[in-house]
Structure 1
Amino acid sequence: MAEMQRFSQVETWEYDVDTGKISWSPGLFKLYNLPPNATEPDYETLLSFYTPESAAALQASVSEALKTGKSYQHELVVQLGNQTAIHSCISYALRDSNGKVYKLFGFVRDITDLKAAERALQESEARFRSLIEHAPVGIAILSPQGTLLQVNTAFARLFGYSTADLAELSFKDIVKPEDTDLGQPVMHEIRSDERRAHDLALRCRRKDGSPLWIKVSSMPIYDNAGQLLYEIVTVQDITAMKSLEDSLQEHKDLLESVINTAAIGICVTDEEGRYVMVNPAYCNTYGYSKEELLGQHFSMVIPNEDQLKASKTHSAFIAGDPNSSGEWRLKRKDGRLLDIYVTAGRLVRKDGKRFKVTTVEDITERKRAAEKLQETEAALRQSQKMEAIGVLASGVAHDFNNILAAILGNVKLLQRRLQGSDEQITVPLQRIATSVNRAAKLVQQLLGFARKGKYQSIAFDVSAAIRTVLDIFSQSIDRRIRLNLNIAPQLPRIVGDPNQIEQVFLNLLVNAADAIAPKLKEGHKGVISIRAEHISLPEEKLKALELAPNQTYVRVSVSDNGTGIPPEIHSRIFEPFFTTKAVSKGTGLGLAMVFGAVKSHHGAVEFETSADKGTTFHLYFPPDTNLETLDQTSTDIQPLTTLMNKKYTVLIIEDEDLLRNLLGDLFMESNFNVISAIDGEDGLAKFQKHYPHIDIVLLDMNMPNMSGEHVYEALSKYPNFPPVIILTGYAEDEVLQRLRSQGVKDVIMKPYDTDELLRRVFEFLESK
């Protein structure tokens, strides 16, 4: 058989001495690996089943029993092939009346497993004793009363005692907690009869009094009845470990203090993106409590449109990609969006788990301040640029207007002299006049964007100006464009130059029509809306527009449903000479003139635009505060149809030779006495010489040696001084307003229409 069967039952046998017959119980056949139907073996065969030593012992005991009738008992080793078994054999002898042994009988039991268990127990006890003795930690076995039944060398050495000393002590005598209040409950817990192990740390002292931190582990052992047999106690010296723990705790407390008091938000997320740590600043940044965040996914602070990007960034960072720092747009609990600068670091624990340590800084206000600073710096640069261009434009305008005035004046003079001439002569002259007028308008736009082109400063009805422009504009636009007009009732007047403001409105309307044109080609309808209203603005809006506080404003809005203004050119649309139109389709001065002209009227311009939806320009003007302001716009001068009552004398003070000579010819041909002066000083000297025979003075503003303003101040000191008309190619608005308030009759800008100039002069003289 491959494996010997093991049985615990007792088998029997008999031996008849007279017949030599052996009788077995059925189980004995199994013990000896014999078939159940086999014949009992004879004595010699039986002996062969045992090892020689066991066979000899059995044979000796059988011989003794036959002789003396003595019983015997043996543990015999049976060798059955490659298997060995141990049998416990007990034999008794039966005697007849004569005392002769006639029968032996006995019992056989297989004790192989029992002997193996005994050996294993012995070996285990030996190993256990060796393990206790050589263990690197202190081990003691305590009786239920706490007596030290056994201790190992390490236990004795740890406390500084000898094993002899320990034989007379209990565990309570050896372990002396320094903190008595702590120690007594602890010892009571160790000595309690709860069926569980204990693991405690105690502060003790050695035999020599030196301090000692120990870790005590106690395991109570009970019998089947539940009674405590003994306790196995292990003791470890954890003094160094406790010192390290105290140091680590100090560092931990310091780190937590730094994290919890940090001004920036700090959080730790696991591989899945769940919060495992957040500091108070992080909670305050997003408006959540610590309890609301821990265990939740960081996506709760990510706007919907950035969810996918944030998830990919987190996964890539956890996998090792270092690119996770930068600006993010994140969401508070109340839904408000914040600009956050994120810095991230990766932490990998020894168990391989990876975490993301993130610091967040709310830079919303800083970014807004930076953007505001950039806007302010850009506005300053734009202002400085516009100022520089304005200085250049004003100088060019003055000289250019003088040239244009000379050209136009001479053309008009030729037209007067050649009345009734052939068209081959008059038509070219008219073309020249038309070209000069176009050039004059260009100069007017130059002065407009430079904020230096306001020729008048009078109170006028802005709604009337809008309607005047619309009457002109509506005749020239595509009929597919609908014009909507919405003017609030009782709209206040504004103060300024109505002609220039009309030009502002016209420029915006023309731009609106140009913006709609591409959509008309696609089959869409066009709409241009003009709205005028009287409004109050919040303080922050006034600051943003750089408008004077504590007052209302007239707002004129021009809207279209055109193509909109591309974002990349928003910052450039008011730059002079910047245009998106084709060559010869625009000068780039339209919006620059709008911006400059509105600013020169102490107003502001802003715009709203959306791709394919259109653009709205908002113009803000301060209203007229003087309800009795005199409208100084000149009335239409009726054509000169009657002769003058007398021959008047005109003093022409002009430093430009071409203009001075032109004016001299014009007025002499109109039956005036003409006195000409080459500059201000010459003009003042000739006025002194011919006063009071001078009837009217034509005075240039910008002259060498003595300006027109200074000349007028000198003239005004004379009693009953004659009317003065200012002729200028450019002058500061403040200067002209001051001269008007001092009595200047009129200001006529160069290039002027000589016929109009004659009408003005005639009207002033005849009205006297």
Structure 2
Amino acid sequence: MMREVEGQSTSGVLGSILLLDGSHLRHGAGPSLPEAYNAAIDGIPIGPAVGSCGTAAFSKAPVYVSDIGTSPLWADFRELALSHGLRACWSTPLISGSDEVLGTFAMYYREPREPVEGDLAVVDLITRTAALVIERRKSDAALRDTAERYRLVARATNDAVWDWHLADNYVLWNEALEAAYGHARADVETTGAWWIEHIHPDDRQRIDTSIHAAIDGCAENWTDEYRFLRADGGYAEVLDRGHIIRGPDGQAIRMIGAMLDLTHRRRTEAALQESEERLRLAVDNAEIGFWDVDVVNDILIWPPRTKAMFGISAAAPATMQDFYNGLHPDDRDATSAVYAAAADPDQRALYDVEYRTVGREDGIVRWVAAKGRGVFDDDGRCIRVIGTAIDITERKRLEQALRELNETLEKRVADAVAERKLLADLVEGTDAFVQVAGPDYRWLAINKAASDEFERIYGMRPQVGQSMLKVLDGYPEHRAAVAAVWGRALAGEEFTEVGEFGDESRDRRTYEMKYNVLRDSAGRQIGAYQFVYDVTERAEEQRRLAAMEEALRQAQKMEAVGQLTGGIAHDFNNMLAVVIGSLDLLGRRIGAGDPRAKRYVDAATDGARRAATLTQRLLAFSRQQPLKPETVDANKLVAGMSDLLRHSLGGDVRLETVLAGGLWRTHADPNQLENVILNLAINGRDAMPGGGRLTIETANCHLDARYTSTHLGLQAGHYVLIAVTDTGAGMPPNIIAKAFDPFFTTKEVGKGTGLGLSQVYGFVKQSGGHVKIYSEPGEGTTIKVYLPRLTGADSEHDEEQPLSDLPFGDRQEVVLVVEDEPAVRQFSVDALTELGYQVLEADGAAAALRLLDAHPEIALMFTDVVMPEVNGAKLAEEARRRRPDLRVLFTTGYTRNAVVHNGVLDPGVEMIGKPYTIEELAAKVRDVLDAPEGG
């Protein structure tokens, strides 16, 4: 526009447009003005006396300066303008349709000049035209920005997002349709019919009816669940949600929605149900009842034993309303209040209550003692309340009998202290342990059951009249504990206490003790009595249940973090394959001719290799590294590492090995096992900064069912043990609990990644084993690694792996590279060419098969595993169908694919993991090409 204005002018005008940016003007166009002048005025502020343009933008009115040499508006810019031969400037603001200043249009002249009527008409036309163009461009930019944000949102989500234009039945899908369900957008028909056809036949009519009912009605939203056909032929369970956009007449014109894949969630729910079933079976075999309230979904879980406490048959359903209805009317309010306090996020009280129930089916009144706690999520919301219940009806009957006995005998006991055995004689028939003591801790009465139990756990028989404190003089700690609980009772407190008593060298048991005050006929306290039950087995069962729940929570946490780290490592491996390989090729090209460049390449390569090591540790923790298990003699492996270990530990640490004779073989990846032992040894060294002793010990061991029952996923049986013990500082329990978490470290910044022990944990779990830490502050640490014993013929010998050179290829040998990532494919082609092979390349399965048909001389196909449409495994299957003699080498940076199952390569599969160096690639390609036919 400016060039056209200048070309039409007969007076030598120079045009300029400045664009308003906040409170400053920016250079927009000035094709004939000197570049130095345009640069100088770029960014000038607007104001009441800032040249012609700054003043015009500020006042929103034209400013015509006929002589810059005399105008006060140009005081700050006069020398600049005159130095470039500019003498007059007519400036007009560019105004939008909404009265917004967009910028200024200026006409410069090289001699003083006043505007005339014709000039003003031209200025008016140009300013209006320029304002329209600028305003249109800004609107277009805003529209593109909105469209880009929508595109980025659709790409960022993992849900398959669909946009259905109802008028022409056109459906647009985002990229997540392929990522989540395998359907490439290029193969998808953009119609609603395609979506309906991919719904499971049993769900299709229901979904078709429900969505059209929402569209044809007046609903704003639609939600339903169904099974959706994946590209691999399986069905995914999905939750589909859509928002309906309607026109002014209420007619549906468009619908936008998203499909959430519920498959993983359903599997998790099934696993949780299985875990809860195991827990239920364990509780059913105990003497306690279990209960679990799902607060969010209002679901009550009661096993048959708990239902029986409410007079409900085992097969009958039970709800929270049955719980409230089953409470005795006199106990209902108090019990409900205690439950509400346990579920209250602010109180989080312990649910500990005794109440009566009235059987729903049999009408029998029972006494129940229940304990439990609330479980809260990260937002503080109570999601579960879980606990145990015990039928204490018989105990209550005995206590009532004892109270009645106390009420009738208190006066006689007070009047005839000499007959102190009376109370004990009256309760000899009960199995409970009953003791009565006076204010001086002397026994007033004790029944035979209590005497027998005291003698069994302490080796001495108590007598009426003796001081219980004097009897326990030989056990100071026990004496203090007895004095504490009886002191409370003799002080007038009535309570129930659970505690452990007994000489550990004889027997130590857990008791539930109920203390009551003993009064005379006038109501004065004359002592206290105790009613005791042995609850050792019940307490042990509760501890086992708590340990199982904690183990389940820990396993779920580690699994979730493992899935996250595995996905991150996959992307890093692809990037590092290009970086390491390109640096390797660059280093070979440079050689020793440029030392400084060679040093830079070596430094970059070292950093990339460190990143690759970190990625492998992430894969190890997430149990996604491809293992190559072999028959391993742990004794031989440890002995072979002696020099490496001594070099790594330094002179201040003394290394000792204790190798068991007749050690069983195990089946594991020897390289990874060496890394585990080295990791543990270095951790032990770091725990002994002042030096010490590090012991590596091997042994055969058996983990029984009692031990494995408290460790989820661990099978009972024979294991090979490798234990690493240091004499260092040790660890407190809170550190042990987090030691295997990824990136957790107690070392200072720069001294450790926090992935060493998490890598150990991932490898051992992936190998079907178990790892356990034993440590106390100041007492050192022992980490025990258990690997399953290998049985069968392979357990009796080791297979020696021959070493091979890294020869170059022959130009007559042709290699086909199949890789969908351009950068990775280019590196692979360059590397193999550098190694002397003739190389062909393809970006996917279709191109690869065409090249195989056209080039029968291809000897090896080097293919990525994870590729769109057709993966590497399926490509290899089709290629070998056409060419049975074709050699195949796979590569991948992620192991959850078609050639690795349970972390182990499929039989006969050759694979090299990303990233890899040229040396590793050369050796692997040569091994595959030189392998015997059918090997």
Q: TM-score range by the shorter chain?
A: 0.5 to 0.7
| In 2: Cα distance, 1:750 partner to 1:760 partner | 13
Residue equivalent to 1:557: 723
Residue 516 of structure 1 aligns to a residue whose secondary structure is coil
Q: What are the Cα deviations for residues 138-187 of structure 1, in whole angstroms up to 9, with x where unaligned?
A: xxxxxxxxxxxxxxxxxxxxxxxxxxxxxxxxxxxxxxxxxxxxxxxxxx
CA contact (8 A) 1:285 1:332 kept: no
1:660 aligns with 2:832: no
Shift of 1:284: 6.7
CA distances 1:109-131 after superposition (whole Å, capped 9, x unpaired): xxxxxxxxxxxxxxxxxxxxxxx
Question: Which of 793, 816, 840 matches 1:675?
Answer: 840
1:711 aligns with 2:875: yes
Q: What residue identity is the alignment partner of 1:349? A: D
Relative to 1, partners in 2 of residues 1:388 and 1:547: Cα closer, same or farther, differing over 3 Å? closer
Report the residue type matching 1:721 in the other structure.
D
Larger relative contact order (Cα-Cα within 8 Å, sequence gap ≥ 6): 1
What is aligned with 1:596?
762
User: 1:343 touches 1:359 (CA, 8 Å); kept in 2?
Assistant: yes
- Residue 506 of structure 2: SS of its match in structure 1? coil
- Cα drift, residue 561 of structure 1: 1.1
Pick one of 778, 801, 824 that aligns with 1:612. 778
- 3-state secondary structure, aligned to 1:652: strand
Partner of 1:751: 915
Conserved in 2, the CA contact under 8 Å of 1:285 and 1:362? no
TM-superposed deviation, 1:310: 3.1
**Does structure 1 residue 276 correspond to structure 2 residue 444?**
yes
Q: Deviations over 1:232-284 (max 9, x none)?
A: xxxxxxxxxxxx99x969xx9xx999966767544322212233334566457
Q: CA offsets per residue over residues 304-354 of structure 1, 9 Å max, x none?
A: 42422432443354234x386433221179821122333322223247552
Cα distance in structure 2, aligned partners of 1:311 and 1:604 = 45
Are the counterparts in 2 of residues 647 and 671 from structure 1 also a CA contact under 8 Å? Answer: no
Using a 3 Å threshold, how does the CA distance of structure 1 residues 287 and 256 change in structure 2: closer, same or farther?
closer
Distance, in Å, in 2 between the alignment partners of 1:496 and 1:686 is 40
What's the counterpart of residue 380 of structure 1? 552
Partner of 2:612: 440
- The CA distance in 2 between the partners of 1:377 and 1:365, in whole Å, is 19
Distance 1:736 1:333, change over 3 A: closer
Q: Which residue of 1 aligns with 2:642?
A: 470
Superposed CA offset, 1:504-540 (max 9, x none) = 11111111111221xx2xxxx5111111122344443
Structure 1 counterpart of 2:661? 489
Residues 571 and 742 (structure 1), Cα distance of their counterparts in 2 relative to 1, 3 Å cut: closer
Q: Please list, as runs of the form range in 1=range in 2, the aligned pairs for 1:393-432 lying within 5 A after superposition.
A: 393-432=565-604
Which one of 673, 676, 701 corresponds to residue 535 of structure 1?
A: 701
TM-score by length of 2: 0.50
TM-superposed CA distance for 1:474, in Å, is 1.2
Is the contact made by 1:605 and 1:620 (CA closer than 8 Å) also made in structure 2?
Answer: yes
Pairing partner for 2:686 from 508, 514, 518? 514
Give the conservation status (yes or no) of the 8 Å contact 2:811–2:836.
no
Q: CA deviation at 1:550?
A: 6.7
**Which residue number corresponds to residue 78 of structure 1?**
none
Counterpart of 1:676 in 2: which secondary structure? strand
Partner Cα distance (1:333, 1:614) in 2: 26
Q: Any gaps of 5 or more consecutive residues in structure 1?
A: 1-243
Letter in 1 for 2:840: I
> 1:407 deviation in Å?
0.4
Question: Once superposed, what is the RMSD of the aligned Cα atoms?
Answer: 3.6
Residue 391 (str. 1) matches residue 560 (str. 2): no
Superposed counterparts of 1:238-277, under 5 Å: 265-277=433-445
> How far 1:388 moved relative to its partner?
1.0
Per the alignment, residue 367 of structure 2 pairs with none
Contact 1:313–1:324 (Cα < 8 Å) also in 2: no
Matched residues, percent identical? Answer: 28
Q: Which residue is 1:336 aligned to?
A: 507
| Shift of residue 623, structure 1, vs aligned partner | 2.5
2:804 is matched with which residue? 637
> Is this contact kept in 2: 1:555–1:620, CA < 8 A?
yes
C-alpha distance in 2 between matches for 1:385 and 1:396: 17
| Alignment check: 8 A CA contact 1:301 1:332 kept | no
Closer, same or farther in 2 for the Cα pair 1:549/1:578, shift >3 Å?
Answer: closer
Count of aligned pairs: 510
Residue deviations 1:333-391 (CA, integer Å, cap 9, x gap):
98211223333222232475521122334332222222222221121111111111111
Deviation string for 1:8-49 (max 9, x for gaps)?
Answer: xxxxxxxxxxxxxxxxxxxxxxxxxxxxxxxxxxxxxxxxxx
Q: 1:597 to 1:333 in 2, by over 3 A?
A: closer
1:453 matched to 2:620: no
Q: Are residues 262 and 485 of structure 1, via their aligned partners in 2, closer, same or farther at CA, if it must alter by over 3 Å?
A: same
What amino acid is the match of 1:274?
R
Deviates more, 1:585-594 or 1:454-463: 454-463
Q: Work out the CA distance in 2 between the residues paired with 1:364 and 1:345.
A: 22
Q: Which amino acid aligns with 2:720?
A: V
2: CA distance, partners of 1:536 / 1:526: 30
CA spacing shift, 1:261–1:381, aligned 2, 3 Å: farther
**Partner amino acid for 2:741?**
E
| 3-state secondary structure, aligned to 2:501 | strand
Q: Is the 8 A contact 1:332 1:338 kept in 2?
A: no
Indicate conservation of the 8 Å contact 2:425/2:447, yes or no: no
Give me the whole-angstrom Cα distance separating, in 1, the residues matched to 2:636 and 2:711. 26
SS across alignment from 2:557: helix
For residue 583 of structure 1, the aligned residue among 741, 749, 763 is 749
- Is 1:694 the counterpart of 2:855? The answer is no
Please tell me whether Structure 1 or Structure 2 has the larger radius of gyration of its CA atoms. Answer: 1
2:841 aligned partner, one-letter code: S
> 2: CA distance between counterparts of 1:588 and 1:323?
52
Uncovered stretches (5+) of structure 2, i.e. residues with no partner: 1-403, 413-422
Does the residue aligned with 2:858 lie in a helix, a strand or coil?
coil
- SS for the counterpart of 1:731 is coil
Distance 1:473 1:452, change over 3 A: same
- TM-aligned CA deviation for residue 636 of structure 1: 3.2
Structure 1 residues 701, 362: closer, same or farther in 2, change over 3 A? Answer: farther
The secondary structure found in structure 2 opposite 1:686 is: helix
Alignment partner of 1:617: what SS?
strand
The reply to whether residue 736 of structure 1 matches residue 900 of structure 2 is yes
Pairwise CA distance, 1:584 = 1.8
1:621 maps to what in 2?
787
Cross-structure match for 1:186: none
- Separation in structure 1 between the aligned mates of residue 760 and residue 626 of structure 2, nearest angstrom: 12
CA contact (8 A) 1:286 1:333 kept: no
Contact 1:564 1:611 in 2 (8 A): yes
Provide the rounded CA distance (Å) in 1 between the counterparts of 2:681 and 2:637: 13
Q: How does 1:10-29 map to 2 (within 5 A)?
A: none
Cross-structure match for 1:720: 884
CA distance in 1, matches of 2:504, 2:447: 16
Which of residues 758, 765, 768 in structure 1 aligns to 2:929? 765
Instruction: Check 1:285–1:446 CA distance in 2 against 1; reply closer, same or farther (3 A cut).
Output: farther
8 A Cα contact 1:454 1:496, kept in partner: no
Residue 870 of structure 2 aligns with an amino acid whose one-letter code is M
